[in-house]
Amino acid sequence: MAFCQVIVDIAHEDVDRVFTYRVPKGLELCPGMRVHVPFGRKPRIEGVVVELVDSCDLPPERVRDVADTLEDYPAILPQMLELAREIKATSFCTLAQALRLMIPAQMRGERISEKTKEYAVVTVDPAVRGQVLAGQKRAPKRAAVFERLISAEGGELSCEQLKSEIDDYRPALNALVKMGFVRLEKREALRSPYGAMERLAGEDPVLTGQQEDVLSRILPAVDEGRGAFLLYGVTGSGKTEVFIRAVRRAAQQGRTAIVLVPEIALTPQMVMWFRSRFGEDAAVLHSRLSPGERYDEWRRIRRGDVRVVIGARSAIFAPLENVGLIIIDEEHESSYIADNTPRYDARELARLRCEKEGGTLLLASATPSMRSFALAGRGDLTLLEMPRRVKNRPMPEVHVIDMRRELAQGNRSVFSGALLDGLKSCLDAGRQAILFVNRRGYSTFVSCRSCGYTVTCSQCDVSMTYHSSENVLRCHYCGEERPVPSVCPECESRYIKYFGTGTQRVEEEVHKFFPDIPTIRMDNDTTRTKDAHEQLIAAFRRGEARILIGTQMIAKGLDFPNVTMVGIVAADAMLKLPDYRSAERTFQLLTQVSGRAGRAEFSGEVYLQTYDPGHYAIESASRQDYRAFFEQEMRRRKRALYPPYTLIARLLYEADREQDAQSAAESAMRQMEAFFERRSYLRKYVVSLRVMPCPVKRIKGKTRWQVALKIVDKPACREAVGKMSEIAQTPLEGCTCVCQENPSSMM
């Protein structure tokens, strides 16, 4: 008798274990296959086979049969099963939750199926086909269908094609099938997401000396399937070419590769590059694929049809076999961390996959994360550097402009005189410019100049944002809209105006100064539709506009040869966010944006406007001095006990009624205190443990409370974070709770 152990697809702690089922005769099973099983009173639910066993201790009447399989192959590869177990252990979720990461969401609950096309194929030998045709004389339809099929290439046609040529072909075809002259075949039709993509000529450039040097370290490691590298290469140093050569080497060794990029839609160029170099051997996974496209790409990968997968964070779960190389571009990006349960860091999982499958890990950035650079300093990652741009092109010259002085001199425009001059000479020279507007933290809000009243959302504790195209105020948390007041509701003053600098405002100002210059604006409003992002970028590349105005989404990865001027309208906006990473984020963003200037023959100029020119993040970014920034920031983190020296975790409670959130948070606090009572050896590592209302007390009408823990980053201390995750999973009356680790905002 054969049995199997199954994890059922229910994300509840009570069923977070294997259940034993009998394998009925004739059903071929192996670990990793998805099955339907009866469970409790439900006749069928989905599950994953994790193990086959010969015997079972349970009385036979208590063991039920596997109903059937969902696919005839294991959807979860053995190494992915292992990875799921690792995620369960480190992020304190159930195995069912971890397994859900491994397959496209659409595959669960049978919401998507393969798209198939039916083909009619002639089965009789070519020598006797004429004879068969002659035999059908008395059935003209049958003869017509058969004649059409034998005249088609390979003796086959899709039924779709037959239908379009011969009316009412089906009964005749069915008869031919019955007689054994034709057979029907269902073939998978894969949806391709590459329709509209630009293609580049795939010529290999001659490598630069720097590229040669770093590849001479990376390629031998790829050959041996080992090594973990951090490639610190300034913007425009040619990192993409290094990736391409390394991927090609892995492919030559018969192995596969994964390339992670922050969010692929943000770098369509990267996809284009890989597709033009690797063609059908490359697959792309990103959030803008339709469910069908996503599933089909997944199937192509799982079938072993591709050598390299390019994708955003979740592509780390690509079902590739024999992974020999994982590359993470822009490794400092926070988007590599999934914040929701199950929480994971794609960089950590990449390291694990490489260790388990014998592969090389390559992290790359012009502004490495504090953590990775610190790891390189300790020797846990091998540091490789490309300090110069391709062809010794100069780094852009950065002009720092003190906006306080501009204001004192009576300039109330969003642009300084220097930025305007720079923009003018760039346009006069026939080049293109980028104006970057840091939307985060500098949203446009309406405020009264007489009494200071600001319009806030009635459901959330935040100011509402002004949208000039529709002339409304909108809440960015819940979407509530309100008309713009013309007099202050508080003091009836008419001096109520919007403040701050949004992309629309900047666009309007540009048109005031340069009425004839065409511009393109890229922000959340102009990129809502599918492909809008790619289309705007392509139009700018074709030169249809001279100035590109945009938010964070234009900061990274883009390579426009004709752009020589970058204006950063408000460099320090993000510095004011209440996040311990705001200096790091500011430095990274400024360096990345500056890196868009002067990437080809013409040298670049950057105009960086700030109200805080002395801040070390601004100052070191203006000199493009990563090391100086790193050292100063690490000293500050150590002094203030922030990560990577500590772990920060919080339990966030939200409830309709304030007392529910408060009492749930207070009860969690007592459980944490009791936990540290029992684990006295951990107590000395606790920096702080507090219960309090969140700074933003309400969002979408829910009151918010939190328990915040800061503890020294030691392996043993992860246990405390585990305890918090456990507490978060206990349901509470009228409350929702999430556990966040190093949250991007404590608001």
Backbone dihedral angles phi then psi of residue 80, each to the nearest 5 degrees = -75, -30
432, 519 Cβ separation under 8 angstroms: no
| Interacting residue with Zn ion among 113, 192, 450, 659 (CB under 5 A) | 450
Shortest approach of ligand ADP to residue 329 CB, angstroms? 7
Residue closer to Zn ion (CB basis): 701 or 734: 701
Out of 459, 468, 535, 744, the residue judged to bind Zn ion by CB under 5 A: 459
Residue of the chain from 208, 341, 360, 551 that contacts ligand ADP (CB under 6 A)? 208
Q: Which stretch, 99-107, 379-387, 448-456, 500-508, contacts Zn ion (CB under 5 A)?
A: 448-456
HSE (CB half, 13 Å, CA atoms) of 652? 22
Q: Does residue 460 interact with Zn ion by CB under 5 A?
A: yes
We find the least distance from the C-beta atom of residue 473 to Zn ion, in angstroms, to be 10
Half-sphere exposure of 579 (CA within 13 A, CB side): 18
Q: Is 446 among the residues that bind Zn ion (CB under 5 A)?
A: no
C-beta separation of 233 from 239 below 8 A: yes
Q: Considering CB distances under 5 to 8 angstroms, the limit depending on partner class, which of Zn ion, ligand ADP, none binds residue 237? A: ligand ADP
Q: What does the block give as tokens for 343?
A: 């929480």
Which contiguous run of DSSP H or E holds residue 297? helix 291-302
Q: Which is nearer to ligand ADP, 273 or 675 (CB)?
A: 273
Among 193, 233, 500, 604, binds ligand ADP (CB under 6 A): 233
Q: What is d(CA 564, CA 554) in angstroms, rounded to the nearest whole number?
A: 15
N residues, the chain: 747
> Per rule CB under 6 A, is residue 377 in the interface with ligand ADP?
no
Burial class of 80 by CB neighbour count within 10 A (0 to 12, 13 to 18, 19+): buried
Distance CA 168, CA 175 (A): 13
Q: Which does 89 bind (CB under 5 to 8 A by kind): ligand ADP, Zn ion, none?
A: none
Binding flag, residue 202, ligand ADP (CB under 6 A) = no
Q: With respect to ligand ADP, which residue has the nearer C-beta, 5 or 372?
A: 372
Half-sphere exposure of 539 (CA within 13 A, CB side): 16
* Cα separation, 573 vs 553, whole angstroms: 16
For the CB of residue 553, give the shortest distance to Zn ion in the complex, in Å. 23
Q: How far is the CB of 334 from ligand ADP (least distance, A)?
A: 19
455 binds, among ligand ADP, Zn ion, none (CB under 5 to 8 A by kind): none
The option from ligand ADP, Zn ion, none interacting with 211 (CB < 5 to 8 A, set by class) reads ligand ADP
What's the rounded Cα separation, in Å, for the pair 566 and 592?
11
What's the rounded Cα separation, in Å, for the pair 33 and 66? Answer: 12
120: left (phi over 0), alpha (psi -120 to 50) or beta: beta
Among 109, 202, 205, 578, binds ligand ADP (CB under 6 A): 205
Q: How far apart are CA 48 and CA 32, in angstroms?
A: 6
Task: Choose one: 108-116, 205-213, 338-346, 635-643; the region binding ligand ADP (CB under 6 A).
Answer: 205-213
Shorter beta-carbon distance to Zn ion: residue 292 or 485: 485
Binding mask 596-615 for ligand ADP (x = CB under 6 A): ---x----------------
Say if residue 125 is exposed, middle or buried (CB neighbours under 10 Å; 0-12, 13-18, 19+): exposed
Q: Is 175 helix (H, G, I), strand (E, B) or coil?
A: helix
- Shorter beta-carbon distance to ligand ADP: residue 205 or 377: 205
Cβ atoms of 423 and 567 closer than 8 Å: yes
Rounded Cα distance between 373 and 352, Å, is 19
User: What gap in Å lies between CA 495 and CA 500, rounded to an integer?
Assistant: 15
27-35, 51-59, 172-180, 486-494 -> range binding Zn ion (CB under 5 A): 486-494
Contacting residue, 7, 346, 390, 398, with ligand ADP by CB under 6 A: 390
- Find, among 97, 94, 89, 84, the residue nearest to 50 by Cα: 84
Size of the site for ligand ADP (CB under 6 A): 16
Interface segment toward Zn ion; rule CB under 5 A; list 85-93, 180-188, 449-457, 500-508:
449-457
> Could you tell me the smallest distance in angstroms from the CB atom of residue 454 to Zn ion?
10
According to CB under 6 A, which one of 241, 263, 357, 584 is a site residue for ligand ADP?
A: 241
Cα–Cα separations (whole angstroms), residue 650 to 124, 659, 661, 692: 71, 19, 14, 11
Spatial distance between the Cα atoms of 661 and 653, rounded to a whole number of angstroms: 6
Per CB under 6 A, does 33 bind ligand ADP? Answer: no
Give the binding site for Zn ion (CB under 5 A).
Answer: 448, 450-451, 453, 457, 459-460, 475, 477-478, 480, 488, 490-491, 493
For ligand ADP, the binding residues (CB under 6 A) are 205-208, 211, 233, 235-241, 390, 559, 599
